[in-house]
């Protein structure tokens, strides 16, 4: 479709487009004006895991391999917003600020007059217009919260940063700011509490161990002192010193492992409790314990650590045998990791990022735990071997070595415990210091369109952007849907179809036939024009026989042929009108002719032509009515006798007009058309479909039938009164 064509349609249907545009435009603009405005206010909270605290935590083995991320990751933040108990925070805010909102009922009562007394009558408590808000309402951002504005809080990550944005909206700007600030404050308090909680468990463990190791260390020192007093000097050879050093190292490693195991267990129980807070993930931790593959991998791992320790007693760290075992350990760890992830993966939980992140972490904790536990199972075996070696020393040396060893070990453990405690304190204070309110919410200005909603200017633009295409679309759709022929232009648009003229819709009391109508009536004028059009449409010689048909039934065909015949007769022509519609004959409505005798009597052979040619009552016009309706009209229409009748009548009359059934109802018109000089289509304005007319034209031209043209019937006079025009003649 050309652009010009589209523009034409839009122009023609501009009122549809304009009305729809205005409907959308006014709805949005008036809606924006009527709706209670609401305001937004935003507070920002920084939520960061400092890299320093992370590295300290990992250096002391408190942060296991799987979670040594330097800063907080996107998934962490997603976890945070999903798991960070936003609702408990909101509950605290609701309780502290006593947030209320206007009841929907109250708004409706305000908008609809007389509703209040009615509601009171049916027992509704109309006086309670405010209601306390629940935390869920405060966090619920539905469309309703816009149509009926109420206090509302939304928490989101600020772009790609560690900043959490807390945006509060409320019909009252002061309340909006208060809500945002209160929410931010509660959020920080809650988060700090959680961080401290995380460190508390480990701190407690370390504190308890510090006391114990210090006592052990002091005891060992005392024992050494006592022994030295008793036995004078004892010197140890290099080999023994090395042996002692090795035993001491292994013992210290066991102690470190114990701390790490504690941390891992704490992490696992934390992650599992997070998972179990989401009901659909509850099964996973159970499965993790029972899996056979996991169990056997754990045993393999323990055995590997055992042989690692054993070979380390024989070889240096670079010996191929040692390297081989280390590789095997790594392989087993990988297998374990995969196996654990498989357990989580088998869950039908889709690709929920929170779940995935937690499950990866959890698998990591389990691998670490398994590795540490295996080491701690292997170490005593190795230790026992060294201790046996110790026993083979001379009694005095062995005793001294034992005491010296115990001093070394307890001192080391005590020292590292002190170091842990110091680092824990550092890490905790750093974690705490990286959570704070960085930008408090301020009370928005009532006239500031940035914080006032709805924004009339913005909505006006939206209304235009939305309304214009819808308006134009509606106009084009109307055009598309309206496929009927209604004006002379529509007829002219049909290929090879000549427009002969219009017959206007008659008023109720107007005479239906032109010989009864006023000589200057529009009806007469129309028929005169159509008659002249027929004359001019056929250049060579005027047609002697014309078939009149329509596309479908009830387009006014009988009315039209009757008037066309009368018009021709009044011009002084000798006219014969044949009612060829053997399906629904209609001429007897207009002329006083019997139903019992007519064309069919003649065609089946028992009537004489003169007995069926009747006087119409109009000078110069004779009629052949249909006669009894036959069971198979097509056979009669096709008969040679019918063809011959038309030919004979053309000789006897100036003009023969045949009323034929609608083309879409029967093919009679085509058959009549082959015998006659031409066919005229009668089209009822607004009824016949453009497509049908085009199809009919193609059908007729394929059948080699001369289509004289088309007349439009029942044309609306609404546009401007032609009666005014004709009044001039009266």
By CB under 8 A, name the binding residues for another protein: 487-489, 498-502, 504, 525, 528-529, 532-533, 535-537, 709, 715, 719-720, 722, 725, 727-730
Q: How far is the CB of 528 from another protein (least distance, A)?
A: 7
Instruction: State how far the Cα of 563 lies from the Cα of 183, in Å rounded to an integer.
Output: 87
Q: How far is the CB of 721 from another protein (least distance, A)?
A: 9
Backbone angles phi, psi at 501, to 5 degrees: 155, 170
Q: How far is the CB of 526 from another protein (least distance, A)?
A: 8
Give residues with Cβ within 8 angstroms of 564, minimum separation 6: 527, 530, 531, 546, 548, 657
Q: How far is the CB of 29 from another protein (least distance, A)?
A: 28
End-to-end CA distance of the chain: 48
Enter the DSSP assignment of 717. Answer: -
C-beta neighbour count of 390 within 10 angstroms: 17
Backbone angles phi, psi at 710, to 5 degrees: -130, 145
> Quick one: three-class SS letters along 391-408?
HCCCHHHHHHHHHHHHHH
Q: Which is nearer to another protein, 100 or 529 (CB)?
A: 529
CA angle 554, 494, 577 (to 5 degrees): 40
Enter the DSSP assignment of 688. Answer: S
Q: At what angle do helices 668-675 and 640-652 cross, to 10 degrees?
A: 50
The three-state secondary structure class of 278 is coil
Instruction: State how far the Cα of 689 lies from the Cα of 1, in Å rounded to an integer.
Output: 20
Q: How far is the CB of 632 from another protein (least distance, A)?
A: 39
Q: Which is nearer to another protein, 517 or 658 (CB)?
A: 517
What does the block give as tokens for 280?
A: 């659909």
Q: Which is nearer to another protein, 457 or 722 (CB)?
A: 722
What does the block give as tokens for 493?
A: 């648009």
Q: Which is nearer to another protein, 315 or 725 (CB)?
A: 725
Omega before residue 257 within 30° of 0, cis: no
Q: Which is nearer to another protein, 4 or 720 (CB)?
A: 720
Q: How far is the CB of 728 from another protein (least distance, A)?
A: 5
What does the block give as tokens for 667?
A: 């093919």
Q: Which is nearer to another protein, 528 or 643 (CB)?
A: 528
Q: How far is the CB of 532 from another protein (least distance, A)?
A: 4
Q: Which is nearer to another protein, 291 or 488 (CB)?
A: 488
Q: Which is nearer to another protein, 533 or 570 (CB)?
A: 533
Q: In sequence order, what are the beta bridge partners of 22?
A: none
Q: Which is nearer to another protein, 623 or 710 (CB)?
A: 710
Instruction: State how far the Cα of 285 lies from the Cα of 275, in Å rounded to an integer.
Output: 9
Q: How far is the CB of 155 from another protein (least distance, A)?
A: 59
Q: How far is the CB of 681 from another protein (least distance, A)?
A: 15
The three-state secondary structure class of 710 is strand
């Amino acid at each position: 479709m050309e652009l010009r064509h589209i523009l034409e349609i839009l122009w023609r249907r501009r009122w549809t487009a304009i009305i729809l545009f205005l409907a959308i435009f006014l709805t949005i603009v008036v809606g924006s004006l009527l709706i209670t405005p609401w305001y937004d206010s935003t507070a920002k909270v920084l939520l960061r895991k400092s890299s320093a605290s992370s590295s300290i935590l990992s250096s002391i083995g408190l942060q296991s391999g799987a979670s040594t991320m330097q800063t907080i990751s996107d998934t962490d933040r997603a976890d945070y917003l999903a798991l960070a108990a936003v609702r408990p925070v909101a509950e605290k805010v609701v309780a502290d600020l006593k947030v209320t909102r206007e009841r929907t009922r109250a708004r409706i009562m305000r908008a609809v007059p007389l509703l209040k007394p009615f509601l009171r009558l049916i027992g509704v408590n109309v006086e309670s217009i405010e209601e306390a808000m629940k935390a869920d309402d405060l966090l619920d951002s539905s469309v309703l919260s816009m149509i009926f504005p109420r206090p509302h809080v939304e928490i989101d990550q600020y772009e790609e940063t560690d900043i959490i944005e807390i945006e509060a909206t409320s019909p009252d700007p002061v309340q909006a700011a208060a809500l945002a600030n209160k929410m931010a404050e509660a959020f920080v308090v809650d988060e700090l509490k959680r961080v401290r909680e995380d460190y508390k468990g480990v701190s407690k463990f370390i504190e308890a161990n510090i006391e114990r190791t210090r006592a052990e260390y002091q005891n060992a020192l005392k024992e050494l002192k006592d022994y030295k007093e008793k036995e004078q000097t004892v010197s140890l050879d290099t080999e023994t010193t090395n042996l002692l050093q090795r035993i001491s190292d292994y013992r210290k490693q066991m102690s470190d492992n114990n701390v790490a195991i504690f941390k891992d267990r704490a992490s696992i129980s934390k992650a599992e409790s997070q998972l179990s807070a989401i009901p659909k993930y509850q099964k996973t931790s159970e499965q993790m314990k029972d899996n056979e593959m996991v169990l056997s991998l754990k045993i393999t791992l323990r055995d590997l650590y055992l042989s690692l320790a054993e070979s380390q007693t024989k070889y240096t760290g670079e010996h191929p045998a040692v390297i081989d075992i280390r590789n095997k350990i790594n392989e087993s760890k990988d297998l374990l990791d995969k196996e654990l992830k498989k357990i989580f993966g088998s869950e039908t939980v889709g690709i929920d990022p929170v779940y995935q992140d937690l499950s990866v972490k959890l698998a990591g904790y389990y691998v670490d735990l398994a590795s540490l536990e295996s080491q701690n199972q292997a170490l005593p075996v190795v230790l026992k071997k060294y201790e046996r070696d110790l026993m083979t020393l001379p009694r005095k040396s062995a005793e001294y070595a034992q005491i010296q060893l115990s001093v070394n070990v307890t001192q080391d453990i005590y020292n590292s415990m002190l170091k842990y405690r110091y680092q824990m304190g550092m890490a905790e204070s750093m974690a705490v210091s990286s959570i704070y309110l960085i930008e408090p919410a301020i009370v928005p200005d009532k006239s500031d369109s940035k914080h006032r909603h709805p924004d009339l200017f913005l909505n006006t633009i939206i209304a235009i952007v939305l309304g214009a295409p819808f308006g134009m679309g509606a106009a084009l759709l109307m055009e598309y849907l309206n496929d009927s022929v209604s004006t002379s232009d529509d007829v002219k648009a049909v290929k090879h179809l000549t427009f002969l003229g219009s017959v206007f819709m008659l008023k109720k009391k107007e005479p239906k036939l032109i010989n009864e109508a006023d000589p200057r009536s529009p009806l007469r004028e129309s028929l005169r024009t159509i008659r002249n059009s027929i004359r001019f449409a056929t250049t060579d010689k005027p047609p002697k026989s014309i078939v009149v048909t329509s596309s479908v039934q009830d387009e006014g065909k009988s009315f039209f042929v009757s008037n066309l015949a009368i018009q021709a007769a009044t011009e002084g022509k000798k006219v014969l009108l044949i009612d060829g519609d053997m399906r629904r004959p209609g001429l007897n409505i207009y002329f006083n002719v019997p139903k019992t005798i007519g064309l069919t009597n003649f065609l089946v052979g028992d009537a004489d032509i003169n007995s069926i040619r009747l006087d119409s009552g109009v000078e110069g016009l004779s009629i052949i009515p249909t006669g009894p309706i036959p069971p198979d009209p097509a056979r009669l229409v096709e008969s040679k006798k019918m063809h011959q009748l038309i030919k004979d009548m053309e000789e006897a009359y100036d003009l023969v007009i045949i009323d034929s059934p609608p083309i879409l109802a029967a093919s009679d018109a085509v058959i009549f058309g082959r015998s006659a000089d031409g066919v005229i289509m009668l089209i009822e304005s607004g009824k016949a479909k453009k497509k049908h007319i085009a199809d009919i034209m193609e059908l007729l031209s394929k059948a080699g039938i001369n289509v004289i043209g088309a007349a439009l019937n029942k044309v609306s006079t609404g546009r401007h009164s032609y009666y005014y025009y004709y009044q001039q003649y009266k």
